[in-house]
Amino acid sequence: MNFSELGKFFDEHDNYLILTHKNPDGDTLGCGFALCSYLREIGKKVNVVNNDNFPARYDFLYEGYEPLDIEYETVIAVDIADTQLLGDGLSEYAKEGCIDLCIDHHISNKFYAKQTYLDGEASAACLVLYEFLKSCNANISNHVAKCLYTGIATDTGCFKFENTTPKAHMAAAELMTYDIDFARINRLMFDIKSQGRLAVEQAVLSNIEYYSDGQCAMIVLTKELMESCGVEEAEFDGLASMPLQIAGVRIGITVKQRDTDVFKLSVRTAEGVDACEFCAYFNGGGHIRAAGCEIVGSLEDVKAKVIAHVEKTLEH
């Protein structure tokens, strides 16, 4: 599918339902609501849905949004590589033939939709949509600009990560000229933390363990520790990147207790250490810089096994 075919698709269809992925982030929501705004502006009837409703954190993306009364004829999935990511609440759309169009940037896309516009090199689904809108000289409203900027910024860690491209910067350069308070968006997305999250980070920081002369840092999240924080489970998301952010650390390990004697390891590594290989030793897998595995045993046994394997790995 190319952009002109995508434009033709929008011309020829109406009564849209836009699906966004579960545990929604700025990119799936930004892309969903930008597309919704754009299609409504050109006279179409459109709604957006999510398995987990719309989190308060992204309120500014759906200010003024009201679902319409629509008999859906066209279903679009945005930023969804696989129908499993729809979530239980939207699993009815996982059946073959239910989704008419998918707009995505994940090279792992499963091509489950009848038609797919995929740019596996784009930093964000929002960047794909931005480039489509530019290709057809579409009017970009302030709201669409705000949604697109948010998706590009959040998926690139505010232009920090390896997946940032010159095109992502070029898009940001234009989108910030609209009436969007990009600095406020970035504060909300990257700086503001809940009191609960701070309690979690405090608990984690006070329990970091160092091994192999500080080349390995380990966080252990026991059920007891997690309960003592008294916060929602979601506040524990994204901690796995913390140990590797410590100067000198080459293997960062987060050990999360799943059950009395079951522990889930999330391993992150710096250049020169293969996280996937590390986890394969414990029958896990993943990527070269981020991998995981599950180990059964008492916490003491699990830690002893992991530390021994850390030492062996760092010897090489």
CB of 150 to a second copy, least distance (A): 13
The residue (of 62 and 178) whose beta carbon lies closer to a second copy is 178
CB of 237 to a second copy, least distance (A): 15
The residue (of 22 and 167) whose beta carbon lies closer to a second copy is 167
Residue with tokens 């992502």: 168
CB of 253 to a second copy, least distance (A): 16
Instruction: Confirm if 206 and 199 have CB atoms less than 8 A apart.
Output: no
The residue (of 76 and 217) whose beta carbon lies closer to a second copy is 217
What residue ranges bind a second copy (CB under 8 A)? 158-162, 164-167, 169-170, 172-174, 176-177, 182-183, 186-187, 190-195, 198, 201-202, 205-206, 208, 210, 214, 241, 245-248
The residue (of 94 and 270) whose beta carbon lies closer to a second copy is 270
Burial of 274 (0-12, 13-18, 19+ CB in 10 A): middle
The residue (of 142 and 245) whose beta carbon lies closer to a second copy is 245
CB of 27 to a second copy, least distance (A): 17
CB of 176 to a second copy, least distance (A): 6
Instruction: Confirm if 165 and 122 have CB atoms less than 8 A apart.
Output: yes
Instruction: Confirm if 21 and 86 have CB atoms less than 8 A apart.
Output: yes
The widest CA-to-CA distance across the chain, in whole angstroms, is 64
Helix (H) or strand (E) holding 306: helix 299-315
What are phi and psi for residue 81, nearest 5 degrees? -80, -25
CB of 28 to a second copy, least distance (A): 21
Residue 242 DSSP symbol? S
CB of 207 to a second copy, least distance (A): 10
The residue (of 60 and 159) whose beta carbon lies closer to a second copy is 159
Dihedral over Cα of 293, 298, 301, 304: its sign:
positive
CA distances from 291 to 67, 145, 267, 269 (A): 40, 35, 5, 9
Rounded to whole angstroms, the Cα distance separating 309 from 293 reads 13
The residue (of 5 and 181) whose beta carbon lies closer to a second copy is 181
- Least Cα distance to 128 among 86, 79, 161 occurs for 79
What are phi and psi for residue 291, nearest 5 degrees? -150, 175
